[in-house]
Amino acid sequence: MTRIAIDAMGGDYAPHEIIAGSVWAAYEYNVPIELVGKHDDIIHELEKIKQNGFISDCGKKGTRKRIHIDISKLDIKITHADEIIEMGEHPGQAIRKKKKSSIVIGVKSVVDGSSDALVAAGSTGAAMAASLFGMGRISGIIRPAIAATIPSLKKPIVVIDGGANSECTPEMLYQFAIMGCLYSKQLLGIKNPRVGVLNIGSEETKGNTLAQETYKLLEKNKDKFNFIGNVEGNKLLLDTCDVAVSDGFVGNVTLKVTEGVATLLFRLIKEQFKSSVFGSMVGLMAQMFFKKIYPRINYEEYGGSLLLGVKGITVISHGRSKAYAIKNAVRVAKEAVETGLNKKITEMLGE
Amino acid sequence: MTRIAIDAMGGDYAPHEIIAGSVWAAYEYNVPIELVGKHDDIIHELEKIKQNGFISDCGKKGTRKRIHIDISKLDIKITHADEIIEMGEHPGQAIRKKKKSSIVIGVKSVVDGSSDALVAAGSTGAAMAASLFGMGRISGIIRPAIAATIPSLKKPIVVIDGGANSECTPEMLYQFAIMGCLYSKQLLGIKNPRVGVLNIGSEETKGNTLAQETYKLLEKNKDKFNFIGNVEGNKLLLDTCDVAVSDGFVGNVTLKVTEGVATLLFRLIKEQFKSSVFGSMVGLMAQMFFKKIYPRINYEEYGGSLLLGVKGITVISHGRSKAYAIKNAVRVAKEAVETGLNKKITEMLGE
């Protein structure tokens, strides 16, 4: 049975929220888990959860509730890790220096077969470096990439690379297209994903050299997937594509700008409603409609981004992840294992 | 007195909306204008406006009104141009081939001193190419850049380059920083603009080579402006900086994603409100609050982006510009001339 390892010490709200989310996932998805981190801290948290349950707000206000789960019935393994890699540390140096860190030991659990996939909410750089060095690349893959899922008008779309590689070649982006397409099919259930190059114009000749060369390479290989050409930023979320390919710099900027604009708009709306008594009333009524939108645009629904192209599964969660996001991240990890995503990537791109 | 030339034939709603906006600006800002395009078409439109006025929705629904302006009192010059460059044409080839196009003749008007600045809502590429070849670069400027203004939490911010140069060097970005800073000071009235590098992390070592090298160069020159380091996409619009520097590819993606996310969110909100009778009622009440937000996030308020670094002023407006946007673009052009923006750029960067 698929077991998911979780770096219990990584993330802004570790260990409490991470462990709560892991326990929640173990219960809800009936999946064995392996909590990696300081043994005593984990035991202490589990004891607290056993006694008092934990509070989850399901990723949004107004849904806070205390959840009680009978931990004794769950399959929970604890693996001790003495060290923690902090957010500020240089990823490469940190994973070499801190061999006993929770992220390094977590990766080792996957490599040794103790678990089948890893969820990590700490330093993204450290999670990538530890996975890359620990699991190794799938033979044939030039560079692993981050496949991030973001909400759009209808279905979630995949942005790949979400930030693993700041500098890329067209050949790398071609592989990202294939991996993103498989991710979209296997995990998001999209039958024939539309793959586009994130670009600044729709014509083939638009954009920088990388975008232009990638367009040509994808066009040449369009028998392998549903290539729809270039996709511009203003249409990206309006049901024009299912997989958007870019280098990790542009991809990461795109993901973060998306988050920033949503934050800005909701702040402006809130501000307006709060500007008068009548506004507060309307705002209160409007809130029940906003609540229905929120789950559709809440990154926590997807739990995290998948690092694709390594010999193993690592789900990288947002540093701000709370229990609800971690629960979903464990689900994503489980699905990635059980749908055989890596096997399919190897079939398509492996050597 | 400052005269502004307008390419009457460029843009999705040309010539009617362009001419209406120009006339509106001439009246509201008391500025002489020069309409460049097919003489008979312009006369015809002016006649129509004289008879019936024109309709403006001030950039948003619910503010539609018919505006009547006594054209006979305005200083309007008409300059005939026989050709039009269409959206799909290759900019460089088109401006060489169509020497009698409205955009080429419009640029010529500025070069010859007939007008002081140009507003163009047609092909961005053609406007850039025509301006660059017609006006020439300010001596010392490596490459002209597009300074785009976008709404943020408090004050509008400048994103430079907004799409003129897909491939850049750190030296170019250094010049963009200086030009963006002057733009922010002179036109947006920001005293000591905070300048940041648009990047995927806050640390100096984050991002691609361009971002890292630009960070170093800007840090070295921080006596020249208020350098605040890297700015991430999620914080870009939340009052963290006044000028964000990037290459034109990343800048353009950022601008378009911003537009796309706003469209998505308002669509989702509308959809929810429309889902029930009660929702429609709440939506109707909420609309009066949204209306106050709209002008703050409406690109039409800024009228267009400035092409900086050429010996002249060109305001490049959105292809979808209607009268209200064109009116504001003329205002921006006038302010750029009257605040001596180019003189200041030449003082700082000229050779």
Q: What is the ipTM of this complex?
A: 0.90
Say if strands A65-67 and A4-7 run parallel, antiparallel, or are unpaired.
unpaired
A163 found inside a domain: yes
pLDDT confidence band for A39 (50 / 70 / 90) = very high
Q: Do residues A126 and A162 both lie within one domain?
A: no
Subunit contact A258:B253, Cβ cutoff 8 A: no
Q: Closest chain A residue to B199 measured between Cα atoms?
A: A253
Same-domain status, B22 and B155: no
Q: Which residues of B92-130 are buried (b: 16+ CB within 10 A; e: fewer)?
A: eebbeebeebbbbbbbbbbbeebbbbbbbbbbbbbbbbb
Asked if residue B120 and residue B231 are part of one domain, the reply reads: no
What is the pLDDT at residue B350?
81
Which among B253, B273, B293 is the end of a domain?
B273
Q: Is residue B349 part of a domain?
A: no
B166 and B121 part of one domain: no
A265/B262 touch (CB, cutoff 8 Å), yes or no: yes
Answer whether B265 sits within 8 Å of A235, measured CB to CB. Answer: no
Quote the pTM value: 0.92
Is the backbone of residue A193 left (phi > 0), alpha (psi -120 to 50) or beta? beta
Determine the residue of chain B that is closest to A199 in CA distance: B253
Is B7 contained in some domain?
Answer: yes
Q: What integer pLDDT is reported at residue B109 of this predicted model?
A: 97
Predicted local distance difference test score (pLDDT) of residue A62: 61
pLDDT one-digit tens code per residue, A182-193: 999 999 999 999
In a shared domain, residues B136 and B242 = no
Per CB-CB distance under 8 Å, the chain A contacts of B265 are: 261-262, 265, 293, 297
Q: Under a CB-based contact definition with an 8 Å cutoff, are residues B178 and B348 in contact? A: yes
Task: Kindly determine whether residue B233 and residue A211, on different chains, have CB atoms separated by under 8 Å.
Answer: no
Picking from A255, A273, A291, the residue at the C-terminal end of a domain is A273
Nearest CB to A167; choose among B88, B209, B250: B209
Q: How confident is the model at residue A57 (pLDDT cuts 50, 70, 90)?
A: confident
Give the integer Cα–Cα distance in Å for B263 and A306. Answer: 27
Residues in contact with B348: Cβ distance below 8 Å, sequence separation at least 6, in sequence order: B178, B182, B224
The stretch A58-86 carries a mean pLDDT of: 87
Q: pLDDT of B93-129, one tens digit each?
A: 999 999 999 999 999 999 999 999 999 999 999 999 9
**pLDDT tens column, A128-149:** 999 999 999 999 999 999 999 9
Q: Are residues A178 and A79 in the same domain?
A: no
Mean pLDDT of A259-277: 88
Q: B31 with B115: CB under 8 angstroms? A: no
> Is A262 within 8 Å of B259 when comparing Cβ atoms?
no
Mean pLDDT computed over A88-98:
92
pLDDT of residue B181: 97
Residue B183 in any domain: the answer is: yes
Mutate to test the interface with B, among A240, A261, A284 (most CBs of B within 10 A): A261
What distance in Å separates residue B237's CA from the closest CA in chain A? 7
Chain B: residue whose CA lies nearest to A167: B208
Angstrom distances, CA of residue A190 to CA of A152, A156, A195, A241, A343: 14, 10, 12, 11, 18
Cβ separation A253–B254 shorter than 8 A: yes
Residues of B in contact with A153 (CB under 8 A): 264, 267-268
For residue A293, list chain B residues with Cβ-Cβ distance below 8 A: 265, 268-269, 272
> Is the same domain home to A244 and A228?
yes
Residue B147 pLDDT: 97
Assess whether B150 and B136 both reside in one domain. Answer: no
User: Which residue range forms the structural domain that includes residue A191?
Assistant: 142-273
Give the best residue of B152, B208, B255, B256 to mutate against chain A (max A CB count within 10 A): B256
Does A289 reside within a domain? no
Nearest-neighbour CA in chain B from A95: distance (Å): 17
The CATH number covering residue B318 comes to 3.40.718.10
Nearest-5° angle of CA A29, CA A35, CA A40? 135
pLDDT grade, residue A56 (50/70/90)?
Answer: confident
pLDDT of residue B29: 96
The answer on B189 and B109 residing in a single domain is no
Q: In B, which residues are within 8 Å of A273 by CB distance? A: 289
What's the token pair of residue B171?
Answer: 């030296």
pLDDT on residue B297: 73
Question: Which string of b and e fits B154-172 if b means at least 16 CB within 10 Å?
Answer: eebbbbbbbbbbbebbbeb
pLDDT at A282: 86
In terms of domains, do A42 and A159 share one?
no
Alpha helices in chain A (DSSP H): 16-28, 39-52, 91-97, 102-111, 124-135, 170-188, 209-220, 248-273, 277-297, 323-338, 341-349
Q: How far is A33 from chain B (nearest CA, A)?
A: 32
Collect all residues of chain B within an 8 Å Cβ-Cβ radius of residue A275.
289
Residue A297 has a pLDDT of 72
C-alpha pair distances (Å), B44 with each of B4, B25, B73, B275, B326: 21, 19, 18, 45, 19
In a domain, A293, yes or no: no
In this structure, is residue B348 part of a structural domain? no
How many structural domains compose chain A? 2
Shared domain check, B135 and B157: no
At A202-256, the pLDDT tens digits run 888 889 999 999 999 999 999 999 999 999 999 999 999 999 999 999 999 999 9
Is residue A3 domain-shared with residue A137, that is, in the same domain?
yes
All residue ranges of chain B with pLDDT < 70 are: 58-63
Interface test with B, best of A154, A253, A291 (most B CBs within 10 A): A253
Q: Examine residue A295 and state whether it is found in any structural domain, yes or no.
A: no
Residues of chain B with C-beta less than 8 angstroms from the C-beta of A290: 269, 272
| Interface residue of A146, A200, A287, A290 to substitute, partner B, most B CBs within 10 Å | A200
